[in-house]
Structure 1
Amino acid sequence: MGILLGVIADDFTGATDIASILVREGMRTVMSIGVPAATFDVHDADAVVVSLKSRTIPVADAVAQSLDALRWLQTRGAEQIFFKYCSTFDSTAKGNIGPVADALSDALGAAIAVVCPAFPKNGRSVFNGHLFVGRQLLQDSPMKDHPLTPMRRSDLVALMAEQSAHGVGLVPHEVISAGDAAISEAFAAIAATGQRYVVVDAIHDDHLRSIGRAIRGHKLVTGGSALAMGLPANFGISPRTPAETTITSRVPPRTAILAGSCSAATRQQLARAKALWPSRRIDLDAVADKRPVVQEVLSWAKSQPADQPVVIYGSADPAEVEENQAGYGSLQAGAMMEHTLAAIAEGLVADGVGRLLVAGGETSGAVISALKVQGLSIGAEIAPGVPWTTTLSDRPLQVALKSGNFGGPDFFERALDIPA
């Protein structure tokens, strides 16, 4: 028997995000890091999430990796494919959301696919086709200053049309609120015009569940992770009672917090963490000058009390990010920080750290790749979209991968209070 749902996620934090929602909704879910090997064991999974690091790489590479993931999922019998991207539609002017969606829909022969990044519990909603972050339009939110994917427009129909070779329609909130039948009729009408994509409004979870029921049978679904909450029921799956957590030790593993995200949410979380625990900032100029930054940070971490987490970060405010990008180039500045934090993560784990909290999608991807993690099992949810996970390896490591924008100000404190 094959899997029911195959997910292709464009970054690692987003992959754990959607995996945690599927688990909560009752689907047995396995997550792979990169396209799995032929021997990757899915056990009795209903869903497999393939996590890529394809959000900001060249378009051709993102398309190729996504198609490789699709072919692997098809060999395992996936009945529906979900292309998962960020709830703030993170992309550059050239993509990669539109080109990847085009390639997947062409390969699947999908006549129509929804576009819905909404995640109401995290303040992302779509109204009249425009994406809001809290009460702000996307273009007015802190995402406008994202160092790699600055989002300067909020009109999802226009954004998708610019990136895709196909037409894009809209199903507004009045239709969504009218219920499943009205949504299905609107989809059919848009498909009849030859438009391949349909942006759907969604303001609360009931909207997402209605949309989920209406896309039963769609070959391709695209959107943020919250849209997945309505899909397991289409396969006859309902939420299971969570198993009780068995605590085998009262002594938590040594813990490190690594932050590369420059989002406003992560900077606020860091401000609280630095007031509570030992912290060390990565100096990008020192990295560029090839000083022994990694060795110095690891030596400092070793000297800290083992019963306290250490906080290691490269996060900066928008003005400093702009200055770094001007001096080193936007891609190079980000890559230097990611590689440094990844090397520090390797050293920390070698020194006995058994629990990592990583903030930032690009940083998470770099850390997981450096640690050569092949797969993750999904554990307790810390905040909407952010679960604890455990690496599938001979020496299991507890890992939480947090999108930069996710979580409240006390996220790190909450995480440490929740058994993985």
Structure 2
Amino acid sequence: MIAVIADDFTGAAEIGGIAVRLGWKVVINTIVAPEPGTDVLIIATNTRSKEPEEARSIIRQTTSELMQLQPQLIYKKIDSVLRGNVSEELLEQIAVSGKKRALLVPANPSLKRIIQDGVYYFEGAPLHRSRFSTNSRDGVKSSNVVDLIGNGKREDTDVISIGDDFTHKSLIIGNAVNEEDLDHWAARLDDDTVLAGGSSFFHALLRHLGKKNDVTRQQLNLGKRILYVCGSAFQGSRSMVANAFDSGKKVAYMPAEMFCEAVDRSKLINAWQDTVTSCLETNDSVIIAVDQINSIDAGKLDGSISEVIADVVRNTMQYVDVDELVIEGGETASVIMSKLNYNKFFPVQELSPGVIRMKIKEKEGIHLTLKPGSYVWPSSIWQY
């Protein structure tokens, strides 16, 4: 069995989709538990949005518990553009597992995300000057990968290229501009090294292990009643929601004054929830989304927004049966799953890279589809 520690829920699903595509039996869980007959066990920790100390504590416990299951290896799935507590989590995993180093390869060449000479390029532009930085709420300050893993870990980090030996540093970042480079790094698997990175590096690792075969992609047949939840701050996603609204689709936007002072927030939440419920009952589908936020602290409200969205989703699903729950954004998805008490998931379809449809252990008759915020919606599910 291969174990994976994923720092957010959509990343866990993305890894699961790749394994399912290659014919591996996959389980995603929020806790470490034995899964007989499973080829890939993925633990979604949601540590990307945590404070560093809490993230380290979660990784310490998760790694220790996974080691008791004696997996063939433990892969660390991180954000492909190095958001979150990358260095802190990797150093913790190295310490607990008794390894010498981590080899970190976050590049995703198929999505034009590469690392060359220690610089991260997104669609041909240095990351901090790319569309990704422009569309994200806080932007990116640097394209140097050593800067991106951040928090004073420069002395622990080296960047190496194909053919270079591992150095004595704890964190080794591999330059990678194509799939062949990823295959090279996957072949460097050894007992002293934690392998970490994005979905493409994991795919290369599965290719290196040489197991299973590609599975024919199934036709998508969604259930009748669909609840879309768009919690991403990326402008491209918000534009798609706005276009859907303009074309007559039912969109239930969060009230702009939700986080203003001296408002009755519970009243606003109830009204928003009533709108969502009504749309589902009369139209069978609705998009929950966030547009304008009237607050001077709008840039600091991501966690609070996710909590409010999760409350609305949970309460709506108590009144209306939903066949398909489609969620964009890892933190949003994690909070919703926590509110609904859903913990174990079985990926069944990869609709497009990163967009995965799953069954839910705790709720039969409903499918969950997840998408990372910066990825593109496949027309198969967005226009269904």
Identity, in percent, stands at 18
Tell me if structure 2 keeps the 8 A contact 1:99–1:163: no
Tell me if 1:128 matches 2:96.
no
Tell me if structure 2 keeps the 8 A contact 1:125–1:133: yes
Select 2:23's aligned residue among 17, 23, 26: 26
Q: Deviations over 1:327-352 (max 9, x none)?
A: 23644x22221111101111232211
Deviation at 1:161, TM superposition (A): 6.3
Deviation at 1:163, TM superposition (A): 4.3
Find the counterpart in structure 2 of residue 170 from structure 1.
159
Deviation at 1:271, TM superposition (A): 2.9
Select 1:7's aligned residue among 4, 15, 18: 4
Find the counterpart in structure 2 of residue 362 from structure 1.
331
Find the counterpart in structure 2 of residue 119 from structure 1.
108
In structure 2, how many angstroms separate the alpha carbons of the residues matched to 1:328 and 1:290?
Answer: 18
Find the counterpart in structure 2 of residue 190 from structure 1.
166
Judged with a 3 Å threshold, the aligned counterparts in structure 2 of structure 1 residues 404 and 126 are, in CA distance, closer, same or farther, namely: same
Tell me if 1:55 matches 2:45.
no
Select 1:278's aligned residue among 222, 241, 250: 250
Q: Deviations over 1:287-338 (max 9, x none)?
A: 442332332123222323555420110145xxx6xx74xx23644x222211
Tell me if structure 2 keeps the 8 A contact 1:166–1:196: no
Aligned residues: 378
What SS does the corresponding residue of 1:261 show, helix, strand or coil?
coil
Worse-matched range after superposition: 233-242 or 124-133: 233-242
Worse-matched range after superposition: 155-164 or 103-112: 155-164
What SS does the corresponding residue of 1:16 show, helix, strand or coil?
helix
What SS does the corresponding residue of 1:399 show, helix, strand or coil?
strand
Judged with a 3 Å threshold, the aligned counterparts in structure 2 of structure 1 residues 290 and 147 are, in CA distance, closer, same or farther, namely: farther
In structure 1, how many angstroms separate the alpha carbons of the residues matched to 2:192 and 2:72?
Answer: 9
What SS does the corresponding residue of 1:232 show, helix, strand or coil?
helix
Find the counterpart in structure 2 of residue 389 from structure 1.
358
Alignment of 1:6-405 (within 5 A): 6-33=3-30, 35-36=31-32, 40-91=33-84, 96-144=85-133, 150-160=139-149, 162-164=151-153, 166-172=155-161, 175=162, 182=163, 186=164, 189-191=165-167, 194-217=168-191, 219-242=193-216, 252-274=223-245, 275-288=247-260, 289-291=263-265, 292-304=267-279, 306-315=282-291, 324=295, 327-328=296-297, 330-331=299-300, 333-350=301-318, 351-405=320-374
Q: Deviations over 1:113-153 (max 9, x none)?
A: 21211122233211211112212211113443677764211
Deviation at 1:216, TM superposition (A): 4.9
Q: Deviations over 1:142-200 (max 9, x none)?
A: 4436777642111113333644375322223xx3xxxxxx3xxx2xx333xx1122211
| Structure 2, gaps ≥5 residues long | none
What SS does the corresponding residue of 1:214 show, helix, strand or coil?
coil
Tell me if structure 1 keeps the 8 A contact 2:133–2:139: yes
Amino acid corresponding to residue 250 of structure 2 in structure 1: P
Judged with a 3 Å threshold, the aligned counterparts in structure 2 of structure 1 residues 284 and 71 are, in CA distance, closer, same or farther, namely: farther
In structure 2, how many angstroms separate the alpha carbons of the residues matched to 1:262 and 1:355?
Answer: 22
In structure 1, how many angstroms separate the alpha carbons of the residues matched to 2:251 and 2:209?
Answer: 47
Tell me if structure 1 keeps the 8 A contact 2:136–2:235: no
Amino acid corresponding to residue 205 of structure 1 in structure 2: E
Judged with a 3 Å threshold, the aligned counterparts in structure 2 of structure 1 residues 315 and 106 are, in CA distance, closer, same or farther, namely: farther
Deviation at 1:243, TM superposition (A): 7.9
Tell me if structure 2 keeps the 8 A contact 1:6–1:78: yes
Amino acid corresponding to residue 256 of structure 1 in structure 2: L
Deviation at 1:261, TM superposition (A): 0.9
| Structure 1, gaps ≥5 residues long | 176-181
Q: Deviations over 1:387-412 (max 9, x none)?
A: 1111112434211121110115xx3x
What SS does the corresponding residue of 1:285 show, helix, strand or coil?
coil
What SS does the corresponding residue of 2:258 show, helix, strand or coil?
helix
In structure 1, how many angstroms separate the alpha carbons of the residues matched to 2:139 and 2:77?
Answer: 19
In structure 2, how many angstroms separate the alpha carbons of the residues matched to 1:394 and 1:297?
Answer: 24
Q: Deviations over 1:343-402 (max 9, x none)?
A: 111123221122111111221111111111111110211221111111112434211121
Judged with a 3 Å threshold, the aligned counterparts in structure 2 of structure 1 residues 388 and 315 are, in CA distance, closer, same or farther, namely: farther
In structure 1, how many angstroms separate the alpha carbons of the residues matched to 2:331 and 2:181?
Answer: 30
TM-score by length of 1: 0.82
Q: Deviations over 1:99-126 (max 9, x none)?
A: 1111111122222321211122233211
Tell me if structure 2 keeps the 8 A contact 1:261–1:315: no
Judged with a 3 Å threshold, the aligned counterparts in structure 2 of structure 1 residues 42 and 396 are, in CA distance, closer, same or farther, namely: farther
In structure 2, how many angstroms separate the alpha carbons of the residues matched to 1:365 and 1:8?
Answer: 15
In structure 1, how many angstroms separate the alpha carbons of the residues matched to 2:230 and 2:134?
Answer: 17
In structure 2, how many angstroms separate the alpha carbons of the residues matched to 1:347 and 1:161?
Answer: 39
Find the counterpart in structure 2 of residue 179 from structure 1.
none
In structure 2, how many angstroms separate the alpha carbons of the residues matched to 1:203 and 1:336?
Answer: 38
